[in-house]
Structure 1
Amino acid sequence: MSKAPSAYRLSAATALHRGDRLYQQDQVQILVHDKVPGCTLAIVADGMGGKSGGRKAADQVILTARQLFERFTPRDDDPAELLRQLVLEAHLMIKLTAITAEEEPHSTVAAFLITPGLRCDVIHAGDSRVYHFRGAAMIGRTSDHSYVQRLLDEGTLSEEEANTHPQSNLLTGCLGTQQEPPITLARIDQLAIGDTLLACSDGLWHYFTPAEFGDVVHSLPPREASELLVEKARQRARGAGDNLSLAMIKVEALDRPKPAPAR
């Protein structure tokens, strides 16, 4: 494995839009470790269920992430275990909330944790995704826990057909249901300068190809890229858009100060 670049910075942005829905049920946050530079956790949660049930579920995902991250020490703790606990504990808390409420709250989650040395661990449940780009090229993305993804994996459906499938929102796994949530972990041993991580809900990714995402995240800083993606998604939704959310982190070169000229 090559040595991590010694001089880099993580440039980040989040975006959240209600779309054309009456209620905002997505939640997004990027958490920066208060003691360890370069340690950052990004989370997207797409809540479902009732007028306020979905928002309560998404809020619980973010709250659980905050609590776990506050106790996390990169030198001693396993990043993958933190993400696994995030899914299990948020799932349990959402189920407990459902007992005391009339709604049936559920939520997706897509999260990635960058630790010193530019290791990146990823987890997801449902159809919120994490994309990994190197420059403009997509290196990989998470595979949805959904009925349509299953058809794609079986080869009975094309990517183009999947985007317009009438059951595209039918999930096979998420948080808060009676069945245990999927624990789908991935690890990027080392990010490189020019890499971008993008976590987003289906209200965003539904309107873009990986190539379109790649062009935007490569050519623009995260804040401007996020604004453009939201604007384009809103245009393409034509008044029928879902809640949408994204968290983006880009690894950028840190310009070293030039040495003073010799006297």
Structure 2
Amino acid sequence: MSQYKIEAGTGQHIGDRQEQQDRVGLFAAPHAPGYMMAVVADGMGGKSGGALAAEQVIRTSKQLFDVFYPGNSVEELLQSILHEAHTIIKLTAVSSEKEPHSTFVALVITPQQEAIWAHAGDSRLYRFSGPNFSEKTRDHSYVEKLVDEGKIRPDEAKTHKLSNILINVLGSTNNTPYMTSGKYSNLKAGDSFLLCTDGLWHYFDDIELSAAVAANTPRQASELLIRKARDRGTPRGDNCTFAIVKLVVPPAEVKSYTVQKMRRAV
């Protein structure tokens, strides 16, 4: 019997914006049993341009995961998604006369009890062990660059006036996007992951997110997080989009016995 089963769900709210420009997807690999992928994209560009870009990230992710086979490299898959989506978004910008950009964060769970992820931009992946926060991705943003250079403190980054400036996105005409990847092995029941846009993580501490995910099903956690994000973000709340992936103890096998009637031979 498997050591865990996967429970996953997504959540999304338009916030106080006029348009939902985020996208999210959960996928199984048709040719690679036991593999699953979660993807979140935060579109930017205004006048539907951001929605076009985020939609392309999700579409490209599904298309390439659909032709993924066991033995292929997950890291190369994620790299291909990044570059192919970036190329198509740039072409879309030319044909649509818009300036679409998007972030990208994706997680792949493998049958080898591995979690492999990658991101570009400020959409984040959080990893939790039970109710405990374990790690999170670092934003590809201008304020994180300032933190690295020692020009501002880490606790100042979230409220900095330039916190919305990104230095790495898909669709940029000036720079080729790069991805930062991570990996965690020996997955077990109790491990969980949260992929989310800044419309969610901006309003929570790490420990709040870990507690909400650990204590609830993905659906219950989604409802709770959206409600809290709205309470804290109104009247200027951003689009809020996320995916939750939890590894839980599989249900015990129930043995079923049937008793058939026996006829006496006369």
Give the TM-score normalised by the residue count of structure 1.
0.93
After the TM superposition, which residues 229-248 of structure 1 pair with which residues of structure 2 at under 5 Å, given as runs?
229-248=225-244
User: Corresponding residue for 1:255?
Assistant: 251
Of stretches 252-261 and 186-195 in structure 1, the one that deviates more from structure 2 is 252-261
1:86 corresponds to 2:81? yes
Of stretches 150-159 and 103-112 in structure 1, the one that deviates more from structure 2 is 150-159
- Residues 185-239 of structure 1, C-alpha deviation per residue, up to 9 Å, x if partnerless? 1111232210111100000000001011111111111110111011100100021
The aligned length equals 256
**SS of 2:157's equivalent?**
helix
Of stretches 159-168 and 142-151 in structure 1, the one that deviates more from structure 2 is 159-168
User: Are the equivalent residues in 1 in contact too, given 2:4–2:188 (CA < 8 A)?
Assistant: no
User: Corresponding residue for 1:26?
Assistant: 22
Identity of aligned pairs, percent?
46
User: Are the equivalent residues in 2 in contact too, given 1:146–1:170 (CA < 8 A)?
Assistant: yes
Q: How big is the shift at 1:117?
A: 2.1
1:12 corresponds to 2:8? yes
User: Are the equivalent residues in 2 in contact too, given 1:7–1:255 (CA < 8 A)?
Assistant: no
Structure exhibiting the larger radius of gyration computed from Cα positions: 2
User: Corresponding residue for 1:191?
Assistant: 187
After the TM superposition, which residues 1-263 of structure 1 pair with which residues of structure 2 at under 5 Å, given as runs?
6-73=2-69, 75-178=70-173, 179-257=175-253
Q: Could you tell me which runs of 5 or more consecutive residues in structure 1 were left unpaired when the two chains were aligned.
A: none
User: Partners in 2 of 1:258 and 1:69 — Cα distance?
Assistant: 34
Paired letter, 2:10: T
Of stretches 50-59 and 250-259 in structure 1, the one that deviates more from structure 2 is 250-259
User: Are the equivalent residues in 2 in contact too, given 1:7–1:256 (CA < 8 A)?
Assistant: no
User: Are the equivalent residues in 1 in contact too, given 2:31–2:68 (CA < 8 A)?
Assistant: no
User: Partners in 1 of 2:250 and 2:187 — Cα distance?
Assistant: 15
Q: How big is the shift at 1:41?
A: 0.5
User: Partners in 1 of 2:186 and 2:81 — Cα distance?
Assistant: 22
Of stretches 18-27 and 248-257 in structure 1, the one that deviates more from structure 2 is 248-257
User: Are the equivalent residues in 1 in contact too, given 2:3–2:189 (CA < 8 A)?
Assistant: no
User: Partners in 2 of 1:81 and 1:138 — Cα distance?
Assistant: 28
User: Are the equivalent residues in 2 in contact too, given 1:28–1:246 (CA < 8 A)?
Assistant: yes
Q: Could you tell me which runs of 5 or more consecutive residues in structure 2 were left unpaired when the two chains were aligned.
A: 258-266
Give the TM-score normalised by the residue count of structure 2.
0.92
User: Partners in 1 of 2:247 and 2:226 — Cα distance?
Assistant: 21
Q: How big is the shift at 1:260?
A: 7.8
- Residues 127-146 of structure 1, C-alpha deviation per residue, up to 9 Å, x if partnerless? 00001000121211111000
User: Are the equivalent residues in 2 in contact too, given 1:10–1:38 (CA < 8 A)?
Assistant: no
- Residues 65-86 of structure 1, C-alpha deviation per residue, up to 9 Å, x if partnerless? 010010011x221111111111
Provide the alpha-carbon RMSD of the alignment: 1.6
User: Partners in 2 of 1:198 and 1:238 — Cα distance?
Assistant: 23
User: Partners in 1 of 2:153 and 2:192 — Cα distance?
Assistant: 26
Q: How big is the shift at 1:106?
A: 0.3
- Residues 77-133 of structure 1, C-alpha deviation per residue, up to 9 Å, x if partnerless? 111111111101000110011111221000001110111122111010000000100
**SS of 1:248's equivalent?**
strand
- Residues 14-71 of structure 1, C-alpha deviation per residue, up to 9 Å, x if partnerless? 0111110001100001112235443110000000002110000001001100100100
User: Partners in 1 of 2:237 and 2:248 — Cα distance?
Assistant: 32
User: Are the equivalent residues in 2 in contact too, given 1:18–1:24 (CA < 8 A)?
Assistant: yes
